[in-house]
Amino acid sequence: MNIPEPERMDKTRLASINIINALRRGTVPAGGLERIAVGLDIEEGVIAKQLDYVSQGGGDTKFIRGEYGSGKTFLVARSLEIAREKGFVTSHVVISSQAPLHKVKSIYQQVCAGLRTKEEEHALKTIVDNWLYRIEERILSVSGGELADAALEEATGKEIEAALAGISEVNSALAAALRTYYRANNAGDFQLAQAALGWISAEPNIGRDFKVKAGIRGDIDDSIAFLFLRGLVAVIHGAGYSGIAIAVDEMEVTQGLQRSQREKGYQTLVQIIDALDRGEMPRTYFLFTGTPAMYDGSRGIRSVPPLYDRISIVQTDGFKNPRQPQIVLSKFDTSKLEQVALRVVDVYAQAYTEPDRERISHRFIRAMIRKITTRFGGRVDIIPRIFLKEFVDMLDKCELYEDYNPWEGYEFDAEHLKGELKKEEEAVMVVKF
C-alpha cells in the first residue's frame, strides 16, 4: 500500500498553525507571540535590556502589575520567549495553594519541572548532559585526547566538584548527585541516573537506594532550595546557556493565606531581591506578576514595609516608566483588540490561505467585538480570550465555505461557553432571562 508523503511545510507556516491552534483552544500560543503582540514595545524593550545585563553575569528582577485582562499572562509568555531567543533557559512557576510562595522548595521543584530551552521542554536531562559533555571535551582537549575511560571518569568527577565548589562549601549533596548521575549513565544504570535527576529536582519519594549510592543524607528542603537553584544556574551556564529566566505568576494567591504564611512568602521575595542585588544569584532573572491589590492591599506587599520599599514606584504623571521595579499594565481596550484581530488575520493567511478580507473586514471585527462585550458588561478587557476563539472560528468558516456570510451567520451565544469561563469572566457576564 502506497501512503502519500504528507505535504512539507516551511517553519513559518508551522509556527502560524501553532498560533491559530492555540487561539482556537483559548490559550496563549507557545511561540511566535511577537506576531500578535500590540502595545507592549516599550515593556518588551526594557525586559530585553535586563536580560542582556543578566547574560553578562548580572542578576535582575521585574514585577508586573495589572488587573485581569491587562495582558499579564501574555507579557510573561512573551518575556520568556525573548529570553529563550537570547539563549536563556526558562521556567514558568504558578503560585497556588499547593505551591505557595512561602514554600521555597515547591518553587524550586516547579522551576526544575518546567525548564525549557528554545529547542525543547522538560529540558533538565539535556542541560545536565550538555554540561557533562562540555566538561569531558575540555578534559580531553587538555590531555590531547588520550585518556582511558576510567581516567576520564575520575577527572570529570573532580571537575564536577570544582565547578560547584562555592555550593559544595555549604552543601556537597548537589555535586554528589551529579557525580552519581554521570557514573550511572556511563555504567548503563539508567534507573539510578533517573533517580539522581529526580532528587536534584526535589521530586518526592526518591528511594533510599539512590541516597546510599550517592552518599547523600536527607532531601532538598526550604532551607537549601535557593542554594541548589544557584548550583542549577551554574550547570545551565556551564552547558552553554546565557542563564535562567523564571516567571513567578499569580502571586495574588498569597493574600488568601494566614498572616504568618503571607509574611513568610513576602520575606521570600525580599530574600530573592537582596540576593540578586548582592550578586549572589548571577545569570538569574525573576519576573513576578500580581494584581494591584497584591501590591497595595492590606494583605499584600504593602503589609511588609521592607518589601514595599524595595519595589514601590514613583508615579507622578501619565508617562509610565517600566524601568522602575514594577511594570504597570493598562486594561485592554477596543483599539488594541482590533489590532490583535488584524494581526491574527495575517497569521491565518500564512497558516492556511488568504482570508476574504471583505467578509472579515475591519468593520465586521468592530461589530463582533461589540456583540461579545455586550454580554460581558461592556468590559473589553475581559473578552480577548473569548473573542479570539470566536474570531478564529469565523476565519475557519469563511475559508471552508465560500457562501458563508459572517454578517448573517454570526451571533454570539454564550451557552456553549458554560463550564469553560474563568471566574473573572463569569463575574461580569450579563445573564439573559
H helices present in 57-207, as ranges: 72-85, 104-113, 124-143, 149-163, 165-168, 173-187, 190-200
> Are the CB atoms for 310 and 273 separated by under 8 Å?
yes
Angle at which helix 225-238 crosses helix 104-113, to 10 degrees, equals 20
Identify whether residues 106 and 247 lie together within a single domain.
yes
CATH number of the domain enclosing 63: 3.40.50.300
What is the distance between the alpha carbons of residues 359 and 364, in angstroms, rounded to a whole number? 8
User: pLDDT (tens digit, 9 = 90+) per residue, 5-44?
Assistant: 556 668 889 999 999 999 999 888 888 888 988 888 999 9
Write down the pLDDT at residue 316. Answer: 62
User: CA of 390: how far to CAs of 101, 217, 345, 372, in Å?
Assistant: 36, 55, 13, 9
Closest CA to 76 of 380, 290, 393, 303: 290
The pLDDT value given to residue 1: 45
Q: Is 19 helix (H, G, I), strand (E, B) or coil?
A: helix
Eight-state DSSP code of residue 354: -
- Establish if 34 belongs to a structural domain: no
Confidence label for 433 from pLDDT (cuts 50, 70 and 90): very low
In a domain, 28, yes or no: no
**Domain enclosing residue 205, as ranges:** 124-227
Q: How far apart are CA 272 and CA 226, in angstroms?
A: 9
* pLDDT at res. 422: 77
157 with 198, same domain: the answer is yes
Residues 376 and 425 sit within 8 Å (Cβ to Cβ): yes
Among 227, 249, 273, the domain-final residue is 227
Is residue 27 in some structural domain?
no
Q: Select from 373, 374, 362 the least CA-distant residue to 406.
A: 362
Residue at 21 is within a domain: no
262-311: per-residue pLDDT in tens? 999 999 999 999 999 999 999 999 999 999 999 998 999 999 999 999 99
Which residue shows C-alpha cell 520568556? 80
Domain co-membership, 197 together with 276: no
**Confidence (pLDDT) at 2:** 53
| Between 393 and 429, residue with greater pLDDT | 393
pLDDT at 110: 95
Q: Does the pLDDT of residue 427 top 80, yes or no?
A: no
Clarify whether residues 259 and 195 are in a common domain. Answer: no
What is the phi/psi pair of residue 90, to 5°? -125, 160
pLDDT, one tens digit per residue, over 176-233 is 999 999 899 888 999 999 999 999 999 988 878 888 988 988 888 999 999 999 999 9
Of 404, 314, 421, 424, the closest CA to residue 360 belongs to 404
Tell me if 11 is assigned to some domain.
Answer: no
The answer on 346 and 269 residing in a single domain is: no
Domain boundary among the residues 199, 227, 255 is at 227
Domain count, the chain: 3
Q: Give backbone dihedrals phi and psi of 300, rounded to 5 degrees, phi first.
A: -100, -155
Of 420 and 376, the one with more pLDDT = 376
Report in angstroms the alpha-carbon separations of 17 from 121, 347, 367, 371, 426: 19, 8, 26, 27, 30
> Residue 232 falls within a domain, yes or no?
no
Q: What is the pTM of this model?
A: 0.87
